[in-house]
Amino acid sequence: MIKTLDIKSALITGGGGGIGFSIAQYFSSLNKKVIICGRTESKLQEAQKQLKGSSYYVLDTGDIKAIPDFIKKITTEHPDLDCLVNNAGVQRPLSVNDMEPRDFLEKADNEININVHGPMHLAVGLLPHFKTKPGAVIMNVSSVLGFIPTSILNPVYNGTKSFVHFWSMNLRTQLEQGGHNIRVIEIAPPSVSTDLHRERADPNDNKKDKNASALTVEEFMDEIIEQWKADVDVMGAGPSKQVVDKWYESFGEKYDQAAGKK
């Protein structure tokens, strides 16, 4: 099976900032080709200036109809592409008590498109290309909230990240059963000091000075890099690592039995 860091060329969604940009920086430091995409061209342009030899594409991963043409374009222009990092995501405070149904559902549907449909369509759409490679890697960024939905004000986000967790497990198993040399990696962050909370009343409540358990992006990346080097399939950092480990201690054996591994 391909080792995680043996990839040559990575497409990183949401690569203009936060965790996505930090992943792009690390891959670039290893002389991997880096391709970033996102919704805001100005952020992508600024990120590209800091990433040697990188390319960028404007893509809203929630625009499902645009994904097939995007995949055709990127695999044509970057035939060496062998890694997808599904990092783009949004987190919206939504309340059935305080919002009109139409407003709630409009925002919820968009969140589901970005967090669920986009990553799934990109991964499945790229599989024919990845199957032509000696090996490939799909990295899906979920969340500790996909394991324990403790952020009550984010009912849709929690569910979307639970989908990413279980989808990653089943996708990994199906590809293994099919004999394909395609790794599926799940990264489950805890609260990390990015702009993910930008739609909250206090967009900085995931910063260190307001949440002692939050990790800086640098702290998060230090732990993730060590797990990449160790070829870990499912990884957390800080508080989320404990949750991930406990989940697999409780249910991993039962899943392995269902997958025919035991």
Structure tokens at 248: 């697999």
Cβ atoms of 134 and 181 within 8 Å: the answer is: yes
Q: Give the containing element (helix H, strand E) for 235.
A: strand 234-236
Active-site residue, 157 included: yes
221 vs 24: CA distance, rounded Å: 11
Q: Which amino acid appears at position 184 of this protein?
A: V
**Active-site residue, selected from the candidate residues 26, 157, 248, 255:** 157
Q: Which amino acid appears at position 261 of this protein?
A: K
52 vs 253: CA distance, rounded Å: 43
Contacts of 209 (CB under 8 A, 6+ apart): none
198 vs 205: CA distance, rounded Å: 10
Which residues are the active-site residues? Answer: 157
